[in-house]
Structure 1
Amino acid sequence: MNEFPLSLTDVRALALIVGHRSFRKAADELGLSASTLSHLMRTLEARLGIRLLNRTTRSVAPTAAGERLLSRLSPVLREFALAVDEVNQYRDLPSGTLRINASDQAARVLMECALPTFLQRFPQMSVDLVTDGRLVDVVADGFDAGIRLGESIPQDMIAVPIGPDIRFITVASPDYLKTHSYPLTPDDLLRHHCIGIRMPSGKPYRWEFEKHGQSLVIDPKGQLTLDNPEIMADAAISGLGIAYVPERVASRSLADGRLVKVLEEWCPPIPGLFLYYPGHRHIPSGLQAFIEVLRECTTANVENNEA
């Protein structure tokens, strides 16, 4: 009988290469050299008699056959991981790796309490935290959970709040406002230098405002476009224009007077950060433990703010 041409190790390696779009990153996660991993994939392609990956000097991407193979075998990988996790339920403490996808801001929130507490409490657990500006498919990309603003989470996910509502606000430096008219409505921004926001997709972000049930969406113009809220706040401090950033990002500069709020009454709070995960499958023990730690940290943060 011929040897089966595909192993679970082959499937995981292929999935990591496609997920990272990189041999080097996939090899690092597998504890191999990039050349070894490349050789393994060429051997696999030879056994199957079909090309699975398109390689260039700068990138790697799946062929149609590679995509099809992964789409059929990804559930096998997930079931394997769940089977191992169910065995781990018999341990006193959860073990393994928890993979989380989050925005930069969400990752900073986790660093304040949840991650240090979780890793100290569960020494047999490790966390692979991937920061990504785009909203990824956590199931297809092999993550246990994601963290994003509530309004961005797909409806078929279970969402756990991990923080209070947030506000996006418009801010400018006092010096800028001394030499430019003070905006009274969002429409006034069209006559100002505004610091644009570029989304991970490359598209510009349109600023959203609301007051007394009236919603306005503005496509502001300016000479500068950025993709990082902290740098946007710095640019506003330098007098380069009006920025639209999370209030949390600008809090210190607002407190010391380097920035001031404009159009504050047009900037209501919106649902804050949520951890989300698919509800149609078994929840890994590590994720269950992490959710409990998140809830503890969220409760403690609320109590400290009320004190």
Structure 2
Amino acid sequence: MKQNFTVRQGALDGVEAFLCVARHRSFRKAAAELGVTPSAISQAVRVLEARIGAALFVRTTRSVGLTQAGERFFSRAKPAFEELVAASEVARDLGQRPAGLLRLSVPRAIVPLLLEPLLASFCRAYPEVEVEIAASKEVVDLAAEGFDAGIRLGHLVAADMVAVPLTPPFRLVVVGSPAYFAGHKRPRRTDDLRQHACLRWRRSTGAIATWSFNDDGQAAEIAVWGPLIASDFPTMLGAAMEGIGLAQLPEPMVSNAVKAGKLVRVLDGYAPTLPGVFLCYPDRRQIMPKLRAFIDHVKDHKAGGGKAR
């Protein structure tokens, strides 16, 4: 059932005029301050009095005074109106310069890879912006949960979101430690994974993810088995380096470990390519300056080869 507004439509009409007259005890001075005619002020006050149902002023040819109802209305309306004006100024200020709280929903695995290089330089460049990072494996509703933006894998970006690429497309690669391969033959085909311990990832939905492959141009999903199930990529990366089993992980995440000889890549010919990682936000007509500053900082960071201003 449709409910009425708590505050009636037009309930604030005439309040500023009333407060100005009450402060000056003069319709003429109030009109001069507000930049309107005395008759316009009188009309606004008359409409307010009619809506309230009580006379607010005692008027004579020489003076203007407040009735008891006017005194009570003034004592309550003045601080409330000043709060409204202050709230408007605060909101206007946030709409004109980068300031305030910037809330970002981010997968845990992305924080060390993408955000840490950005955050320090962004916070130095925009000291009036507070950045809150909500690291989670869940894909949350950004608008409903009060986030300004989120970071998502390309295939998880909703169609109604604006997406800014943070990385180029990358591959999902299978890796294992030298210690693991000391006791196991390296797989050469995806079917060989049946003979291997494979680290698995539980999605936010509760389902255990299959491993994805590109088999001669055809997408293939394979259910694997192994001793460990994790809910985030960093845990799987650490377990793979400890020799617990094979892991399928984003290529940028394993590149340093591969270069250092801590991990070995296998099945590269079957590695599928993902669209990359994106900063995404609701499609708004006007982006708040704090978010616009972050988006521009991300773009500058990309254009500079990873060196943000």
8 Å CA contact 1:186–1:216 kept in 2: the answer is no
8 Å CA contact 2:113–2:253 kept in 1: the answer is no
Match of 1:155 in 2: 159
Shift in alpha-carbon separation, 1:106–1:178, aligned structure 2, 3 A? closer
Match of 1:235 in 2: 239
8 Å CA contact 2:177–2:262 kept in 1: the answer is yes
Local SS of the residue matching 1:108: helix
* Shift, 1:87, TM fit: 4.1
Match of 1:88 in 2: 94
Identity %: 35
Question: Which of 196, 200, 203 matches 2:200?
Answer: 196
Match of 2:278 in 1: 274
1:289 aligns with 2:293: yes
Q: 2: CA distance between counterparts of 1:302 and 1:130?
A: 23
Match of 2:145 in 1: 141
Local SS of the residue matching 2:304: helix
Match of 1:50 in 2: none
1:255 aligns with 2:259: yes
Q: 1: CA distance between counterparts of 2:153 and 2:213?
A: 17
Question: Which of 220, 224, 228 matches 1:216?
Answer: 220
- The 4+ residue runs of structure 1 with deviation greater than 6 A are none
* Shift, 1:164, TM fit: 2.2
1:104 aligns with 2:93: no
8 Å CA contact 2:212–2:272 kept in 1: the answer is no
Cα deviations across residues 24-64 of structure 1 (Å, max 9, x unaligned)? xxxxxxxxxxxxxxxxxxxxxxxxxxxxxxxxxxxxxxxxx
Q: 1: CA distance between counterparts of 2:233 and 2:270?
A: 19
- What are the ranges of 5 or more consecutive residues in structure 2 without an aligned counterpart? 1-5, 8-86
* Shift, 1:248, TM fit: 2.5
One-letter amino acid of the structure 2 residue matched with residue 141 of structure 1:
E
Q: 1: CA distance between counterparts of 2:88 and 2:200?
A: 43
TM-score, normalised with respect to structure 1: 0.67
Shift in alpha-carbon separation, 1:140–1:204, aligned structure 2, 3 A? same
Shift in alpha-carbon separation, 1:240–1:282, aligned structure 2, 3 A? same
8 Å CA contact 1:195–1:232 kept in 2: the answer is yes
Q: 2: CA distance between counterparts of 1:234 and 1:94?
A: 38
8 Å CA contact 2:301–2:307 kept in 1: the answer is no
* Shift, 1:187, TM fit: 2.0
One-letter amino acid of the structure 2 residue matched with residue 120 of structure 1:
R
What pairs with 1:109-124 in structure 2 (closer than 5 Å)?
109-124=113-128
Alpha carbon RMSD of aligned pairs, Å? 2.6
* Shift, 1:294, TM fit: 0.5
Q: 1: CA distance between counterparts of 2:102 and 2:228?
A: 38
Q: 2: CA distance between counterparts of 1:82 and 1:267?
A: 54
TM-score, normalised with respect to structure 2: 0.66
What pairs with 1:64-83 in structure 2 (closer than 5 Å)?
none
Match of 1:71 in 2: none
Shift in alpha-carbon separation, 1:303–1:285, aligned structure 2, 3 A? closer
Local SS of the residue matching 1:282: coil
What pairs with 1:118-133 in structure 2 (closer than 5 Å)?
118-133=122-137
* Shift, 1:195, TM fit: 1.0
Q: 1: CA distance between counterparts of 2:206 and 2:116?
A: 30
Match of 1:23 in 2: none
Q: 1: CA distance between counterparts of 2:122 and 2:189?
A: 45
Q: 2: CA distance between counterparts of 1:117 and 1:219?
A: 42
Shift in alpha-carbon separation, 1:292–1:191, aligned structure 2, 3 A? same
Q: 1: CA distance between counterparts of 2:111 and 2:283?
A: 23
One-letter amino acid of the structure 1 residue matched with residue 175 of structure 2:
V
Local SS of the residue matching 2:221: strand
Match of 1:167 in 2: 171
* Shift, 1:214, TM fit: 1.7
Number of aligned residue pairs: give it: 225
Match of 1:244 in 2: 248
Q: 1: CA distance between counterparts of 2:88 and 2:172?
A: 39
Q: 2: CA distance between counterparts of 1:225 and 1:83?
A: 51
1:206 aligns with 2:187: no
* Shift, 1:98, TM fit: 0.9
